[in-house]
Structure 1
């Protein structure tokens, strides 16, 4: 588990210098916002992480190709309701057409444009609605775009932090969507981070890839990895801070602030899991390796039996220890400690007396913390998930209709 301290402070949602957006309703959904854009007035350093699902959606594939060329991007076109996934050559051509339309609107090279879609797999985008909707998008400073990408989410996931780097005020603003099909192997569903910091694209990519492993990749709702998962980070440099260079104090401050943003978005997604009533956090300490710590933590928050027990407010630690044993982590099976919400349940792999009513009462809180000490090393791991409720089945039994 990485302990993050930073001079950056959380502030009210606002876009960094030079970033604009909008979100509108064009008819992809019945009434809610379903279409939007996000762009910088100048080309920005860009980094991305993408789903490892073999059926990678056309918009995800296109954006990955654009960013991987020279780590630059200037604009993104976003939609909900229709994922444009498993749509064949027509779906690919539709993504390219979206790219061209937005490039023409912004008067930039199409290679500076990405697209992102989320929603129903297998349906073609209604391109007439996209074409008619594009002229309606305006360059605002509102948070409307954060609503335009929602599907079963109850609310947008957003965060904004500010701090000084090299004597210049730097802003980092992020938003994400995700509620179901959450078990990422890179990021989860859709996430976007913007900043006016000045940093090289390759360095931004290194930071994002590293920190996604510690944040988005450590959440799970239902064990399913989407075809459209993507996290994109844009840095346009308009804060005019000295270029952030690895090994410097400012670079480390920026890295810590980015971690804060990604971690906050990841936790908000986990807390908003379909039908969820509780955010579940698992902290693993004294693991043999960091990979073991991460593996154990994510296995626990991903266990359906653990998730169901937490929904039922049942302090059944047997489900936790059996989940630990089912992993491939290097363990000393006689030395595992488990606590829930600070109350010890297991010491040295044996039950300890505890007030069941008191533990059960704490499990009624909106945040449940499971602490596991493996006593087998110095590494740690952290993961987030949610409880498994009746509503999860209800939502997903009728998603298509």
Structure 2
């Protein structure tokens, strides 16, 4: 089904193409721009270039390739990333220093620049604000993803929307994900940076598929300003909602995954404490494999929470399990009260949610991930061969 999200934002056009595992997408939108990037020490060439480009606070377009990450490629890789912006500049009639660049795929391989140039020339004339054009763009940036990922948040006076890719090598501090977010709100550079940083903290940085953090992670947000000024709080909330939707789609599409796993932590002294516990539980291989096996092993959840380096009283915590509709108690104030049959039933669907109350304060946070299956090993055991 064709979806329209970023192309529903005033001032945005897009398109893309895929040839085997090699794809290229172009997204054109002029406006204030901000970005967040991987914290991995080994940063890919496009990340190095974008950290410089984004300081100007303005973008006119983005060029994205899939199939080759252009990571761990030295000076040649950096020069190749610059060449990508020049290709887009020539094809779109824009200045190269106003073009964002991103790459995803195999690490330690050089770009096929002739292919990228050919694809860029083919894609540029097809840019449009249609659902079909956006579908081509979203498909072009996929690697091991099995589904496209779109998000659309429509408010009374403005819109925030995004597309992203991400399936494996996903961990907090951003995983192997590329996100391109657009709004028609008129947002200043500082506000956009602050809002994107907070939204990322509460969404992309709380997703764990396998605990590996990539070299290429990037989330870019461009504000075209077509809808005029909006209240700062309303914009920030809408941006967070959009990012959270994309983050959950990444988690649900984890490599080899059969279930979306959500951990909700309440009753923490600080939000950062709740987030730390949620992330620790969501990344636990023991929890993830139990979810795959539909084994309601609440002991693994509590044990993982206990190694998060957050202070709470284990004898005061409460824990529930849910399938998104029904909610069943497992532990109440440290006492095990689980109905094993109901708990196992709650794990039989596509979504499994654990709600953990630390009983230590009033702050809360959520994290998202997926189960860990044999298919994950199959995908990553032969990724380059």
TM-score, structure 1 as length reference: 0.90
Cα shift at 1:104: 2.4
Matches within 5 A, 1:259-338: 259-338=240-319
Could you say what secondary structure the match of 2:160 adopts? strand
Bigger proportion of residues as strand: 2
Give the conservation status (yes or no) of the 8 Å contact 1:188–1:217. no
Q: Is the 8 A contact 2:57 2:189 kept in 1?
A: yes
Structure 1 segments (4+ residues) deviating >4 Å: none
Aligned equivalent of 1:62? 49
- Residue in 2 aligned with 1:20? 13
Provide the rounded CA distance (Å) in 2 between the counterparts of 1:355 and 1:332: 23
Q: Does 1:198 find its partner at 2:186? A: yes
> Cα deviations across residues 181-211 of structure 1 (Å, max 9, x unaligned)?
0003146510110111111111101100011
Distance in 1 separating the partners of 2:117 and 2:252: 35
Report the equivalent of 1:234: 222
Match of 1:174 among 162, 169, 185: 162
Q: Is the 8 A contact 2:318 2:333 kept in 1?
A: yes
Give the deviation of 1:178 after TM superposition. 0.3
SS of 2:226's partner is: coil
Query: 2:79 aligned to 93, 100, 115, which one?
Result: 93
Deviation (angstroms), 1:106: 2.3
Cα shift at 1:255: 1.5
Secondary structure of the equivalent of 2:262?
Answer: strand
Are the counterparts in 1 of residues 66 and 105 from structure 2 also a CA contact under 8 Å?
Answer: yes
Distance 2:70 2:62 in 1: 15
Q: What do you get for the CA RMSD once the two structures are aligned?
A: 1.4
Measured against aligned partners, the alpha-carbon deviations of 1:267-315 in whole angstroms (never above 9, x if no partner) come to 0000000010111111111111111100001111110000000100101
| Aligned 8 A contact 1:313 1:364 in 2 | yes
Find the counterpart in structure 2 of residue 378 from structure 1: 362
- What does residue range 41-52 of structure 1 map to in structure 2 within 5 Å? 43-52=30-39
Deviations for 1:100-125, whole angstroms, at most 9, x for unmatched residues? 12122222222101110000001100
* Structure 2 residues not aligned, in runs of 5+: none
Given candidates 208, 212, 220, the residue that maps to 2:208 is 220
Q: 1:12 to 1:95 in 2, by over 3 A?
A: closer
- Structure 1: state its 5+ residue gaps: 1-10, 245-249
Q: Contact conserved, 1:187 with 1:212, CA < 8 A, in 2? A: no
Task: Find the counterpart in structure 1 of residue 328 from structure 2.
Answer: 343
1:210 aligned partner: 198
